[in-house]
Amino acid sequence: MGVTDDSGKYQLSYAPGIEGATLGEHQVIIRTEIAGADGEPLQRKEMLPPRYNNNSELKATVLAGQNTYNFELTSK
């Protein structure tokens, strides 16, 4: 899991307090959640098409060492 900051930078965590990702191929799911005052996601309609989340077509292969993956998202 990762969360972007205002400039779009992110850091992944694969368990609470453990940064990074496990090695291998992973499906990537991108959502446009916004945290409420309590830190929990606000309930609202997803702004991205399902091909980026519920029916994600995105994949990334994590290799040993530092990895950076940026995804160009397009929508109507």
Domains of the chain: which residue ranges? 13-62
Predicted local distance difference test score (pLDDT) of residue 56: 94
Can you tell me the mean pLDDT for 34-50?
81
Can you tell me the mean pLDDT for 40-65?
89
pLDDT digits (tens, 9 = 90+) for 12-28: 888 888 888 999 999 99
Q: What 3-state class would DSSP assign to 7?
A: coil
Share of the chain above pLDDT 90, in %: 36
Which tokens in the block code for residue 30? 């991108």
For residues 36 and 56, the model is more confident at 56
Question: Taking 90 as the threshold, does the pLDDT of residue 4 lie above it?
Answer: no
CA 73 – CA 22 distance, rounded (Å): 24
Q: Are 14 and 20 in contact (CB under 8 A)?
A: yes
